[in-house]
A = this chain, B = another copy of it.
Amino acid sequence: MEDINLHFTGDFHAVTSAHNMITALLDNYLYQNQASGFGLREVLWKRVLDVNDRSLRNVVTGLGGRSNGIPRESGFDITPASEIMAILCLAKDLEDLRRRIENILLGFTYEGQPFTVKDLGVAGAITVLLKNAVHPNLVQTTENTLAIVHGGPFANIAHGCNSILATKMAMTFADYVVTEAGFGADLGAEKFFNIKCRKAGIQPCLTVIVATAQALKIHGVAELENITRPDKESLVKGLKNLQKHLDNMNAFGQRVVVAFNKYASDTEEEIALVEEFCRQVGSGFAVNSAFTDGGEGAVSLAETVAEFIERQPSGPLTFTYRDEDPIPEKIAAVACKLYGAAEVTYSMAARKKLKLIREMGIGHYPACIAKTQYSFSTDPKCYGCAEGFKVHIKDLVINNGAEMIVAVAGDIMRMPGLPKSPQAERIDLVNGLIEGLS
């Protein structure tokens, strides 16, 4: 666990290096060619670092006089938001990886032409930096079950699924492959279906939605300090959140089993309530206590899942939008059908990007919406099942190599900040063992 959370096999570092190497090469190109008018009217490509650092969101680089580059407004995203990470996760093979790297859009020339990594002439070198990172990483659980860990986008700020290569590799090894697509089914599952499955041609047999009594109570608007106490009223109110997620999964054509993650504070009555709710809406239900009981605690869940699939696997996926829908229709489809929004609005910056997308003829890419994971809406404090809200698209990021359009909704940040009391103050190495890493 520690190794995976720390540097692991270095894939994140490789993505960071590859991303920033492109930026360095681009800035060098602009610097070396400034006298010849080969510059870019606009640079879209930024830098990444795998650290929560709000101070890096907006920076001016190239200061200090003419031997130190050309002053330019830029910024850093967190590494999981890197288009390189998305490419790594969506590439079919090394050749496809290279093709996608070539296609990365860096900016526009003064004549308004797209300028890509291919134009910069360095796709080969960047592919070299990623040649090992493209291989899925084999790990094992504490009970020695095989697991494949590969790729690191977060579904709130990026497409959020592990790599297609890892999933396909796993599918050659096992009868059942479980893949995580987390941060809320409105974020993770939506992108898993509409982006990853669409691109990889995967048809999942079943969706498991994880629920906890505590989260349901939060969505039933209980006070945070009370969620470990018995509170049927809040729990029942919170079920409308689960209901919306189940409806959404069904809209994809997916059958669903609810995995109820059991905590010590959960009462039998509460568990029974959720189970009854699931039966009524036609979803499966199983209690999962793997966190405390190990693999043994997940047997019931596994059996329920297997039973559901054997009885009747889900049919073909019904996507929320079609490839040929324009980007605003795609975003509206996800926002209105799945989130429950009434309307999607766009900033001036986003509208300019929509124009560029039309001009570049890349409106057929899927839309990858970056949004808070705490609410169906863009307001992290709007619990339950929000309705009738507006989704404001602050910016669109063209991922021409990953072949998707990232839509940044509400106040979500692609570079997080640290809290007042960061976890780092509590992490330590004591007698060679790490403490405080949660």
Contacts and interface: CB of A to CB of B under 8 A. Distances in A.
A240 interface: no
Given A10-B7, A428-B125, A55 B62 contact: yes
A99 interface: no
Among A75, A429, A437, residue most surrounded by chain B Cβ atoms (within 10 Å):
A429
Contact of A53 (B24, B56, B64, B65): B24
Interface residues of A, number: 85
A105 B4 CA distance: 30
Given A7-B13, A429-B131, A437-B128, A63 B59 contact: yes
A56 B70 CA distance: 10
Contacts of A231: none
B68 A54 contact: yes
Contact of A121 (B23, B65, B348, B425): B425
Contact of A58 (B51, B68, B429, B434): B68
Contacts of A121: 425
In the complex, the count of this chain's copies comes to 4
A425 B7 contact: no
A34 interface: yes
Contacts of A427: 122, 124-125, 128
A71 B71 CA distance: 6
Contacts of A59: 59-63
Contacts of A432: 94, 131
Interface string A40-59: 01100000011111111111
Given A54-B62, A57-B63, A58-B62, 10 more contacts: A7-B14, A13-B17, A31-B417, A34-B41, A55-B70, A59-B60, A59-B62, A122-B422, A127-B429, A348-B392
16 contacts: A7-B13, A7-B17, A7-B132, A20-B49, A23-B53, A24-B51, A24-B53, A24-B55, A55-B72, A60-B60, A69-B417, A71-B73, A122-B424, A124-B427, A124-B428, A125-B426
